[in-house]
A and B are shown apart, each in its own frame.
Chain A
Amino acid sequence: MREGNQENVESIIEKYPKKESAALPVMQLIQEENGNQLDAAGVEEAARALGMSKSRIYGIATYYTMFNTRPVGKYHLQVDTCVPGFLHGADEIVKHLEQTLGISVGETTADDLFTLSTVQDLASCATGPVIQVNDRYFENMTIEKTDELIEALRQGKEPDNDTSMTVVSECGILLNDRTQADCRTLDFYKRNGGYQALAKALSMQPADIVNEVKDAQIRGRGGAGFPAGAKWSFLPKDDPRPVYLICNADEGEPGTFKDRQIMEFNPHLVIEGIAISAYAIGAAQAFIYIRGEFTWIADILEAAIEAAKADGQLDHVDIIVHRGAGSYVCGEETALIESIEGKRGNPRSKPPFPANIGLYGCPTVVNNVETLASVPYIVRHGAETFKQIGIPNNYGPKIFGVSGHVNTPGVFEYPLGTPLKTILDAAGGVKGKMKGVIVGGLSVPILTAAEAEGLSLDYDSCQKAGTSLGSGGIIVVNDSVSIPELALRTIEFYHHESCGQCVPCREGSLVVESKLRALVEGRGTREDIDLVLQLCGTIRGLTLCPTGEAFSMPIQAMVTKFRPEFEALIQQ
Chain B
Amino acid sequence: MKKTIFIDGMAVAFDGEKTVLQIARENGIYIPTLCYHPKLGPAGMCRVCVVEVDGMRALQTSCSLMATDGMRIQTASPGVIEARKMVVNLLLANGNHDCLSCEVNGDCELQDAAYHLGIERPAFLVEEQAERDTSAAFIMRDPNKCILCGRCIEGCNRMVVNEVLDFGLRGGHTKVICDADVPMGQSTCVQCGECVQLCPVGALIDKKGIGQARAWEVEKVRTTCPYCGVGCQLELHVKGDQIIRVTGIDGAQPNQGHLCVKGRYGYDFIYSDDRLTTPLIREADGFREATWDEALDLVADKFSQIIAESGPDAIAGVSCARSTNEDSYNMQKLMRGVIGTNNIDHCART
| B residues in contact with A539, CB < 8 Å | 86
Binds A, one of B41-49, B240-248, B270-278: B41-49
A499 surroundings in chain B (CB, below 8 A): 170-171
- Interchain CA distance A538-B80 in the complex, whole Å: 10
Q: Encode B140-173 as 1/0 by CB contact (under 8 A) with A.
A: 0000000110100000010000011111111111
Contacting pair B163 A53 (CB below 8 A): yes
Interchain nearest-CB distance for B256 vs A (Å): 22
- Indicate whether A391 reaches chain B with its CB closer than 8 angstroms: no
Cβ contact within 8 Å between B166 and A58: yes
Asked if B148 and A506 make an inter-chain contact with CB atoms under 8 angstroms apart, the answer reads yes
Count of A-B contacts with CB under 8 A?
A: 129
A510 contacts chain B at the CB level, 8 A cutoff: yes
- Assuming the contacts A507-B90, A541-B58, asked whether A500 and B172 have C-beta atoms less than 8 A apart, the reply is yes
Query: How far, in whole Å, are A535 and B59 apart by their CA atoms in the complex?
Result: 15
Contact B168 A349 (CB under 8 A): no
Q: Interface segment, B178-186, B202-210, B302-310?
A: B178-186
Question: Out of A63, A514, A535, which one reaches B86, CB within 8 Å?
Answer: A535
A308 CB to nearest chain B CB (Å): 36
Complex: how many Å from CA A44 to CA B182? Answer: 13
Report the interface size class on chain A.
35 or more
Chain A nearest Cβ from B225, distance in angstroms: 27
B45 touches A63 (CB 8 A): no
Take A58-B179, A500-B167, A541-B59 as given contacts and tell me if A506 and B172 are in contact as well, using a CB distance cutoff of 8 Å. Answer: yes
Query: In the bound complex, do residue A40 and residue B59 qualify as a contact, i.e. CB atoms below 8 Å apart?
Result: no
Distance to closest chain B CB from A44 (angstroms) = 7
User: Which range contains the number of B residues in contact with the other chain?
Assistant: 35 or more
Interface segment out of the listed A198-206, A370-378, A490-498: A490-498
Does A544 lie within 8 Å of B47, measured CB to CB? Answer: yes
**Pair A538/B83 contact, Cβ less than 8 Å:** yes
In the bound complex, how far is the Cα of B45 from the Cα of A498, in angstroms? Answer: 13
Chain A residues lying within 8 Å of B179, measured Cβ to Cβ, are: 53-55, 58
- In whole angstroms, how far apart are the Cα atoms of A124 and B169 in the complex? 26
Say yes or no: is A224 at the interface (Cβ < 8 Å to chain B): no
User: What residue in chain A is nearest B171 (Cβ atoms)?
Assistant: A498
Give B104 Cβ to nearest chain A Cβ, in Å: 19
What is the bound-complex CA distance between A495 and B174, given in angstroms?
A: 11
Select one of A55, A497, A498, A508 contacting B166, CB under 8 A. Answer: A55
**In B6-53, which residues have CB < 8 Å from any A CB?**
42, 44-48, 50
> Closest residue to A518 on the B side, CB-wise?
B126
- The verdict on B177 contacting chain A, using a C-beta distance below 8 Å, is yes
> C-beta contact mask, A480-509 vs B, less than 8 Å → 1, else 0?
000000000000000111111111101111
Q: Which of A418-438 contact B (CB under 8 A)?
A: none
Is A17's CB within 8 Å of the partner chain B?
A: no
B170, A500: Cβ atoms closer than 8 Å? yes
**Chain A interface, DSSP helix/strand/loop, else mixed:** helix
Which single member of B165, B166, B172 contacts A495 (CB below 8 Å)? B172
Q: How far is the CA of A327 from the CA of B174 in the complex (A)?
A: 14
Considering only CB atoms, which chain B residue lies closest to A347 in the complex?
B44
Most chain A CB within a 10 A radius of its CB, from B91, B93, B166, B174 = B166
In the bound complex, CA of A63 to CA of B44 (Å)? 20
Interface centre among A43, A56, A542, A543 (most CB of B within 10 A): A542
Shortest C-beta distance, B195 to chain A (Å), equals: 12
Report the separation of the CA atoms of residues A62 and B58 in the bound assembly, to the nearest whole angstrom: 32
Given contacts A502-B47, A507-B91, contact A53 B171 (CB under 8 A): no
Which residues does chain A contribute within 8 Å of B48, judged by CB atoms?
503
Of the candidates B44, B47, B59, B171, the one whose C-beta lies within 8 Å of that of A497 is B171
A56-B163, A58-B166, A58-B180 are contacts. A503–B87 as well, Cβ < 8 Å?
A: yes
In the A-B complex, the 8 residue pairs with the smallest Cβ-Cβ separation, listed nearest first, are A500-B174, A53-B163, A507-B90, A55-B166, A541-B58, A498-B171, A349-B44, A59-B166
Known: A56-B157, A63-B168. 13 other contacts (CB 8 A): A53-B164, A55-B179, A59-B177, A62-B169, A497-B171, A500-B173, A500-B174, A506-B172, A507-B94, A511-B126, A538-B83, A541-B57, A542-B50
Residues of B within 8 A of A (CB): 42, 44-48, 50, 57-59, 61, 64, 82-83, 86-87, 90-91, 93-94, 124, 126, 147-148, 150, 157, 163-174, 177-181, 188
Q: 6 pairs across A/B with beta carbons < 8 Å?
A: A57-B180, A63-B168, A500-B170, A503-B90, A509-B171, A515-B124
A-side interface residues toward B, CB under 8 Å?
40, 43-44, 53-59, 62-63, 327, 344, 349, 495-504, 506-511, 514-515, 531, 535, 538-539, 541-544
